[in-house]
Amino acid sequence: MCGRYASTRNPATLAVEFDAVDGTDGTAPGAAYNVAPTTPVLSVVTRYPRDPQGVPDPDRTVRSIRVMRWGLVPHWAKDPGVGSRLINARAESAASKPAFRDAVAKRRCLLPADGWYEWQRLGTRKQPFFITPADGSGLAMAGLWSTWRPPDATAPPWVTCAVLTTDAVGPLTEIHDRMPLILPPQTWQAWLDPGSDDPSELLAPPPVQLVHALELRPVSTAVNNVRRDGPELVERVEPEQPALLNSDGGTVDRAGDGGTVDRAGDEVR
C-alpha cells in the first residue's frame, strides 16, 4: 500500500518533466517530505479544454499540473469523510468497485513523487524505508481522481485522488506485499488519455527492471510522526538491528505497514 510519500518538486519543474502546463493557480503545496492522507498533493491530468460555455473540445487535449486532496471522495458520497479511507485503490479490482470504477474509466491521473515510505517488521519493531529511484530522478504513481460537490452550491468543489496499488515485485516483496503502481514515461500518454475508457493493459505490476532501479533506503523512525517534515526524513539511517539483504539487494524480513497515520485499506466498497 502507499500511506506516505515525498513530493518536493514544484509545479514549474513538473510542468517540464511531464510536458504539461501549470494549472495550480498559485495554490500548490510546498515541498513535503512526509506527504500524508487528506493533505493537498500535486497531480498530472489530461483533459479536453472547455469553451466559456463549458463545452469540451474533443479535438484537443491539455495536460496540466493540478492540486488535489489525497483521499478520494466519490461524486455520490453523502459524507466527504469517506475520503480518509479511500487513499488507495487496488489495481486488480478498482474497475469493479463503486467508489473507483467511474474514475478508472474517465478520471485517471499521475501523482509525482520523489519516492514512498514502507515499513519492514524487524522483530518487535518496524523499520521505515524510503523507496526512491537510485539515480535521483522522480517517479509517477498511477492515480484516480474525482470531483465532489458540497450541498451548499456556493462552496467550492472538492477534487480528490487515490493511489493505485499493485502486487510488489522483485526485492520490494521482502518489505511489503503491495506497492504503488509506478508508470514509466512511455505509458503516461495512454494512461492519461481522456478518450480511452479501458486502461486494463496498464494495470499490471511494473516490470522487475523498474524495481531494480529503485533504492531501498532505511531511514529514521522520525517519519512515523506525521507532523515531522524536512529533508532529514529521507536521509539514510542504518537500523539499530540491521536488515538482512537477499541476493537481489532486498531485505529478508517481511514488513508490516507501520507509521502513526491511520491505516487505510486499499478499498472499502
Residues 187-210, mean pLDDT to the nearest whole number: 95
Name the β-bridge partners of 148. Answer: 158
Residue 252: pLDDT above 60? no
Contact in structure between 199 and 190 (CB atoms under 8 Å): yes
Q: Where residue 243 falls among pLDDT bands split at 50, 70, 90?
A: low
Residue 188: pLDDT above 70? yes
Contact in structure between 8 and 33 (CB atoms under 8 Å): yes
Round to whole Å and give the CA distance between 53 and 69: 27
Q: Grid coordinates standing for 34? A: 512526509
Instruction: Please tell me the total number of residues recorded for the chain in this structure.
Output: 269
Give the model's pLDDT for residue 1. 63
Burial of 152 (0-12, 13-18, 19+ CB in 10 A): exposed
Round to whole Å and give the CA distance between 130 and 235: 9
Round to whole Å and give the CA distance between 229 and 28: 17
Residue 249: pLDDT above 70? no
Which pTM was predicted? 0.88
Q: Where residue 247 falls among pLDDT bands split at 50, 70, 90?
A: very low
Cα 195-197-201 angle, rounded to 5 deg = 115
What's domain 5-234's superfamily in CATH? SOS response associated peptidase-like (3.90.1680.10)
Contact in structure between 48 and 60 (CB atoms under 8 Å): yes
Give the model's pLDDT for residue 242. 56
Q: Where residue 253 falls among pLDDT bands split at 50, 70, 90?
A: very low
Round to whole Å and give the CA distance between 3 and 152: 31
Residues 22-41, mean pLDDT to the nearest whole number: 97
Residues 200-228, mean pLDDT to the nearest whole number: 95
Give the model's pLDDT for residue 241. 59
The per-residue pLDDT of the chain, averaged, comes to 89
Q: Where residue 248 falls among pLDDT bands split at 50, 70, 90?
A: low
Q: How far apart are the first and last CA of the chain?
A: 17
For 146: left if phi > 0, alpha if psi spans -120 to 50, otherwise beta; the answer is beta
